[in-house]
Structure 1
């Protein structure tokens, strides 16, 4: 500080007080605390001083005078994230830049076991005029030591984790929860939690009373909203341990989404029951709304003028044009029409005869006969059609049902990695993995707008083991009929000891023969195999490059205890994308088999 300086000017931002002296020389002032808290505050600030990360509050020196503790720092950036969000939600490029900047700032802090404890948009200072992207700096370290005076605005606690309310504890997972709330607000343009008082705010956090981000940010890709919601998990154990883990999961999801967009449409598999339409990234059925769109210099290929209806039946393909992301006040919202709806037209005075009345009698008889033939064919096929929701009607003898699109049966980490894939119908058996490095990924929009379980590349080391209700390994030994919706490498089912479902040259090509003529058991290779409803010789027929429905009726009971791992062969791990598996302990009739195939086709390959 210069000698005999002039009195400083005072800047107060988000409750933080800065003295700006000549030079300029800036100090941040801290109000007086108890002796114990003063010691803790000095320890925190000393740790912050040693980190010296451009994304974190700068501390060049720490001192104390008659007014209390202070730090020598830099001039604060011109505005806060809270200021920017008053203009509206961020675009996807802005969000991506902000999320990465905040994670990169918190990573060294968490590595030094330094916890913020009070992170919210008011403490994220930004400069939007910086060439090449916003400058972002996390401020407010030490704010958690202070209680606000006077009437308390509950909004200052809108990013406080449940454990802060119930236990008064903070940790790195607490920071990740707060960061999730910050990023929720950045995409939605409004806080995740809003309340009129502290009691209501506490209840909303503790009971996790929050609307899913996808409903408030339709311009954001589904993986991004899922990642934010996972960061805000009510149970701290379901959040990443630290910022580095959060960054790893963010990068993994972004990379996966990019790969899905760049993949060419797979070749249509041979022997389809009916024609199939493929899409690289299927889109959910939209609800059309009107939106005002503000163009940006680098528009992205994203949906901005539709609101996704989660409960609607997905469609196989949807084409989206290149549209600029929604920004500022241009949030997507329905625009009501000012014009009254036209009333139904009244019937004309002289109604024209209907179609049947205008036809000659012979044509009417022919039409009736044709309808009768169609009805007979439907009855012979089991009385089912491909219209309406897909329903599984054959459940007798079903011993395991794994459905990747059944959210309630999937337990996953923040990164989307699956630790437990339970039976979709509540049977006391699941496919599980304890080692996080060996867990597959629960991938959104993997097939027909639905989730699939992605085991990674061949040799990825990702696999699952069948387990009983107590978590012990469970080997199925009575498999007689099996169905798969999948693509990729490796055994369709595997085990720690046997090679019952051995795939021909399973570690060389994803399109190898379904069964190995030598290694597979006789009960499998001599059984009856169907590929997309067409009877095939599994030892001479390879899987297509795209997703397929494989059906098998064995000649005797077959066994399996794993997915995507052949004994101890590390080369034969992973490699598959699995949508659904059904295993029965009895031989299904042709009629029953065809019914299950129709269900799977209608659901996954319509």
Structure 2
């Protein structure tokens, strides 16, 4: 080797051997050299050496623009090596780390990597280690993204199904985040194994999140084997439903449910892309995420696209519907005029719902930036997208007239019978600041850039610092403005709100942007929080008062049974002021001394308290730092009394412990942030005052399952608010 190739530096380690940057003295070009086997290993295992040489020769025969080119395969005194083209650009992993791919780039990635795999598979070569680090990407002069698959170090020539390669210790080789279940269970692998791994790569490229992730190696393996995956539309609402369904098809648990070949996967992609609409749910998606009732046994495909498919096509395959017209009522209040209901018709094609599959959530709700939806306490709900309304004509006008009359009657009734309200009843919708001033109220919704929390029908309280905050004048609170009312976004909660003590700006938190934290571990830029630092010696506090007829909708209530396991899940995003410890962050309580609360002692330990009268369970955290941005999650099971406390801080430290306390028999309906001062306006005890920042609160009337809790604490909360330290400056 030394006569022709001059080694300069080591580029990294591949699936089998190290890779070096070298210069070809004969052809005058830079190359990459991969050492496959040392001379001693080659002598010790002639069978392996022969097989590696055969595979290297097979790889060298590949000529495809989407696979790294092999120039030469040779041996020297140190052993077997391959000479390859030296690729410019960067790994796909580095690109995705900066954010999900744009659709145009993803389309290039998908088509090129599938073309590359198809070329390898046609030569009877499996890759078996597809992952973002093994895909090189480069921006071409014309702007297109060029992708190339590298590192066929785990490839096995021959298309016959074979067991996964094992290293000398018997453990499965490859990247655990992208390995198919058959690899993890040492079952036979084939071309569909590569498609599964590529599906995992596509999921990450579109969402920026790993499809199967966990806090330990065993967690990741279990999620692969159990196919515990969050649908792509929940993680990345911007991804078209058909594209998310196609990616999940590549990642189907059973190889039989995946495309039979890379060619079939390419054809399905092209067919779905050309269709005007796509089904919201596909049969290979996990049943726990939207499939109810009967199960499918055959995959569905687009109409008339798979002429080469060897997989039987379901007889009742999906037919794209014609564009349908739906209507959404919008209540518009016109000064000095009768309220009118406008019907805003639109013709966006929506997929028909399968009779055996419940429609999946789109993953996002449209933001409402102060548009008026109701007057006083009268609420006008928008039609569901499943409620068909004839397009145009007399029916629309008739509905508008009837709707306007109904609203007018309700508004008049409100002024006659309940317009004044009860100023002492905090939290009732009719006692809102806007309602009490006679101005129209505003209904707030989840912002477009946020993921809809799982099991959102069980959400009874959802507070986000940047949404639903009203200042003393009843307007949307801007930065540095006091927040008198903090409105709930949960449909189940029916527009509840927290109010500052005494309806006074003196005790109200201020809406600000989360300040940076020393050391770089802090919140992302432009993330809103409510500032609960005391002002002029006065504690800052907000409370949700007794909801009366809404009690049953809250944790441990009885009126509406939740879809999940009855109980409580509470998540909060906050940061405590280290100079003012100890403190109590919040308390959620009900009658008979029943409560859940979070305290922080002077040693920065967080203490979760689950109280039911004389029965008190406490869990004290270790290692995590509450004076940095944190997420904390509490769960309490109604049937068994099982509790759990989970915390993650900005640097990534994790604490989670389970316990058990006698479960409540009455609902928890009052949320208190900080300590409400007494009627004489005297200060609360310092240990009860919360001082710091609060960004978000989520309360469920059920105990979420583990994967749902992980989705809430990681992707919905922590990933939205927090970031690690900035990269260190390069050493001079």
- What's the TM-score once normalised by structure 1's chain length? 0.45
Which structure has the highest strand share of the two?
2
- What's the TM-score once normalised by structure 2's chain length? 0.37
Greater relative contact order (Cα 8 A, min sep 6): structure 1 or 2?
1
